[in-house]
Each structure stands twice: as structure tokens, then as C-alpha cells.
Chains A and B, each alone.
Chain A
Amino acid sequence: MSYVYRTLIVPAALVEDVRALVVALAGPPADGMLTVGLSATGTAPATHYISTGAIDAMFAAAVASPEGMHAACAAAGLGVSPAQCTAILSASHVVDLDSEEAAQTLLRLGLRPITEDTDQQPA
């Protein structure tokens, strides 16, 4: 098994569709992707969602271009049009982790993770 390492950042408006798409393409290993919310302030509501880390190398082409995404969808029997693939990738950010760490990507885009931190702490 070989992997490529990517940061994927998807607008909140598209995230439900993209979550369903990645699970349809990659199966259970993609379940749970794109669940970390982002916003400019680090507080809700999320404007984007992020996943960063290893993805199976066979899906590298699917996140590299609309044509690659459409080909992967067609091979999986998914009814996703070329226009939909273009819309997803043009609105999203796909960054090779070998060229930029996720923290730098977030800094460049002006986005911060939304974290819940509500438990008790010492005074």
C-alpha cells in the first residue's frame, strides 16, 4: 500500500457532498474525513472543513484535477458530472504536504481550526 500526503480544505457549503463522495470512492477509510471545522476566527460557525494526512496513492489523481476526479468517479460508477468535479476542486484547496505543512496552509488562507475547550480547568 502506498500513500500520498495531502491537505484538503473544502467550503462548508460543499462538505456534505464531498464527504459522501470520498466515502463512495475510498470506502470506510474515508469515513470521518473533513470533520474538523475552520473559520477565520477559530470559532463557530465553520466556513470550511479540513483533512490533512495520508490518502491512498490510487486517489492522488482524483484530487489533482477535475478530469482525474471525474475519471475516478466514473470508474466507481458514480454519477458525478465533469462540471460538478470542476465546481468542487475550484472551490477547494488541495495542497501537497511535501510542499507546505497544513499549519502554513491555514495561515496563508487565514483560517483557524474550531476547537471545543469547555471542560473544567484550574483557576
Chain B
Amino acid sequence: MGALLRKYPTAGAFDPFAPGFARMWQDSAGTTPVTAYGQPVGRLQSLGGAVTFIQPTTTSRPTLQANGLVFDGTDDGMYSAINVDLSGTDKLTVAAGIYKTSDSARGMLLEHRAGSSAASYWFVHAPSAAGAGNAQFSSSGAFAAATAAINLGVVISGVSNMSGPTASIWRNGTLIATSATAQSGGAYTSDVMFLGRRNNATLPFNGYISRFAWFPVLLAAADLRTLEQWVALPMGLSIP
């Protein structure tokens, strides 16, 4: 994974299991480090330090638990402190370890250019609708879904090539679905990234988020596998 991040320095990779709770703080200003499970996380920095998620409101901070960051499905969420610049690329690879604890309402896991009624957005949500029992990757009007039950850890990957056009979803290292729907917008943009809730306001995700990362490229098959194995490791999942 280290080699991948050196190769793509604009990628964002986040690890709630970093030794010593590194790169996590209880407050959004980054003055009080996370030192134990059970504490709120108000600031979460990527492994390369290029992207930082924050949550200034104390009651809306996810909590760090042994399974990852817990989002309560009510008012928890984070957002990037500055825009995440994906302009200039129409390709994306994203992977996240998730453990849904409820399927009762649509939950936004990770979203760039929130709202998605416009072009050039992408998101991963789980479920895609109340009771859908899935996770879904969407990019600029294309959708690909995979079954994802509650109370079960799963690694979900989304791979998009806007000009392809293709948008694919992978579950635990296996390709599940691909959409060839035309994607509008031409390329992604520079926008705020949201974690756990759309626009820091609605569609709250209910469950745990483990390691997660995005790359502004189509990763080669072997590199995608490396990414998925890195995400899967702390979840006790094996992706050969």
C-alpha cells in the first residue's frame, strides 16, 4: 500500500487502526489526540497528510471503536477541510471497509460533489434506499450495486471511467456489477468530500467505516487487489 501511495501522492487513504491512533484527534482543530477507543474523532488525516476530514460539532463526531469509526445513523458525519481536487481526471478507484448496523435508511458513506443531481460526482452509499440490503457505487449518473447485509463486514470497491463509460462495484475482491451508462460532465471536479453524511446534513450512514481510500486513476488489477487487501486486513477478511 505504501508503494501505491508513493506512486499516486494525490490519493486519499485513511486508517482508523494506525498505531498509536495516529492522525486522529478528538477535536476538529487537532489539539487533543485520540488516545483510546470510545473517544470522538473530530479530525482525521490521510496517511499522506494531503486530506483532512473534520467535524466541528461535538455531537456529530463519529466515535472510534475497535471495528473502526462508528457513525450513528442520526447526525454523525465529517467533511474535508478543503476541497479535494479531482479535476483533470475522469477515472477513479475507491475502496472502503464497511459494517452496516442498520438497513432502515439510505446512508451516504463517502461522497464527492454532494447532491449528485449534477454531473461529475461520485459516491458510495449503503444502503442505496431503505431496506435495499446493498451498497452502491455511483458516478455521474451511472450506478452499480452489490448485496451487502447488515452486521457483516465487507470491502466495497468502486471503479469508474467516465469516458469508458464504465462504473463497476466490487465486493470482497470480486467484480459484482458494471454499468455502461453514459456519464456526464467529462471529468471530476475540485469539491468538498463528505464522509458518513451528505453535505454534513442528511442521509446519515449507520455503521462502522474501517480503512478507506480513493485514487484518481483506474488502478491496475494487481494494485486494486493490493488496495482491497489493505482495507480487508483489520476486518479479518481474506482477499486472495
Contact = CB atoms under 8 A, between A and B. Distances in A.
Interface of A: 1, 3, 8, 26, 28-33, 35-36, 50-56, 102-103, 106, 113, 115-122
Nearest to A52: B74
B25 to A, nearest CB: 10
Given A36-B75, A116-B202, A103 B117 contact: no
SS class of chain A's interface: helix, strand, loop or mixed? mixed
Given A30-B58, A32-B60, A122-B143, 17 more contacts: A1-B26, A1-B32, A8-B59, A29-B56, A30-B57, A51-B59, A52-B72, A53-B40, A53-B63, A54-B39, A54-B58, A113-B74, A115-B202, A116-B201, A119-B116, A119-B117, A120-B117
A6 to B, nearest CB: 8
B105 A51 contact: no
A54 B105 contact: no
29 contacts: A1-B32, A3-B58, A26-B58, A29-B28, A29-B57, A29-B58, A31-B57, A32-B60, A32-B200, A33-B57, A33-B58, A33-B60, A35-B75, A50-B75, A51-B60, A53-B40, A53-B61, A53-B72, A54-B58, A54-B61, A55-B58, A103-B102, A115-B203, A116-B203, A117-B106, A120-B116, A120-B117, A121-B143, A122-B143
